Amino acid sequence: MAEDIEKVKCLIIGSGPAGYTAAIYAARANMGPVLYQGSQPGGQLTTTNEVENFPGYPEGVTGPEMMLQLQAQAERFETDVRNGWVTKVDFSGDIHKVWVNDTKEIHADTVIISTGASAKYLGLESEQKYLKLGGGVSACAVCDGFFYRNQEVVIVGAGDSACEEAHYLSKLCKKVTMLVRRDEFRASKIMEARVRNTENIEILFNTETDEVLGDGQVVNGVRVFNNKTNEKHDIPATGFFVAIGHKPNTDIFKDYLDLDETGYIINVPGTSKTNVEGVFVSGDAADHVYRQAVTAAGTGCMAALDAERYLAAKDSTFEVSTSTYN
């Protein structure tokens, strides 16, 4: 029924660093943002205990604590933060229609998508166990490599990102063992050459993970098997890195927005604009390169500023707020 439709100036989908930063800017610009948190309030960082590379925290901060602070900052400027999962959108007309939990219908002048991406894991029980314990399993070398300085680690993957991450780890760690499932890399020749030419990276082809080993609290090795011979052996390691790709949370947008082959939303370079006017994207949902909290926050800021300017151009009664720069 039409009476049930809520109209909002700015709807933000997602509550990671991108969504909350967009909310802080949009709220301070009088856009009255409504933000839906989705099934993971606070986003990916709520799954990590130590964030040491977000500016402003000289002693580091836990992911959950940092995200509560971002939420509080967004709410301080009266962002309407709500529980709810966006299940459907219709961006075919001038009005951007969004459905929450399949029931509530919202018509938004602007939509900021901050739905992030999820790292893929192997799905082994032992991997998930140490991942949940925060005991040595990671899908982000740039985030967590520092904690394994001068130690031995194992990384799984064969694409460009895996090579990039293995090389990154090789500069911090004593030894990096790279497990490649097939008898060749999927990466570009240049990335492959980089890992092949790095002395402390050992590459094991036709090799898969059988089990992540540990003492019940932290990882202390990885049992691997050769998928040609079925032979198993154990590799001592304190860190197990999984670099087999990410899945952007963008399925619901695929009928309206341009996505790349993996599902990342394609933005107009240098902006947060998508191919649909009034719909903007920020954070990992569009970023397959950097995937960091600070870059997500940066693009959240861009999305709110782009949305503000879009509203101002469309509606002469809407004033671009100077508060953005105060």
143: annotated active-site residue: yes
Using CB under 6 A as the binding rule, whether residue 307 contacts ligand FAD is answered as no
Kindly state the number of chain residues that form the binding site for ligand FAD, as judged by CB under 6 A: 40
Q: How far is the CB of 12 from ligand FAD (least distance, A)?
A: 9
Nearer to ligand FAD, 198 or 299 (CB): 299
Site mask for ligand FAD (CB under 6 A), range 261-290, x = bound: ----------------------xxx-----
For residue 68, state whether it binds ligand FAD (rule: CB under 6 A).
no
- Side chain identity, residue 318: F
Asked whether position 198 contacts ligand FAD by CB under 6 A, the answer is: no
Q: How far is the CB of 53 from ligand FAD (least distance, A)?
A: 5
Stretch binding ligand FAD (CB under 6 A), from 110-118, 160-168, 209-217, 258-266: 110-118
Dihedral sign, Cα of residue 19, residue 25, residue 27, residue 30 = negative
What is the smallest separation between the CB atom of 257 and ligand FAD, expressed in angstroms?
Answer: 13
- From the centroid of its chain, how far is CA 48? 13
Q: Which CB atom, from 42 or from 214, has the smaller least distance to ligand FAD?
A: 42
DSSP string, 57-105: -TT-B-HHHHHHHHHHHHHHTT-EEE---EEEEE-SSSSEEEEETTTEE
For the record, the structure tokens of 200 come out as 């402390």
Cα distance between residue 136 and residue 130, in whole Å: 6
Inter-axis angle of helices 160-170 and 189-196, nearest 10? 30
How many residues can be counted in the chain? 326
- Residue 200 CA neighbour count, 13 Å, CB half: 16
Q: Tell me phi and psi for residue 242, to 5 degrees.
A: -110, 120
Q: Is 214 in the site for ligand FAD (CB under 6 A)?
A: no
301 counts as catalytic = no
Q: Which residues bind ligand FAD (CB under 6 A)?
A: 13-19, 36-41, 43-45, 47-48, 51, 53-54, 85-86, 114-116, 119, 139-140, 143, 249, 252, 283-285, 291-294, 296
Catalytic site positions: 140, 143-144
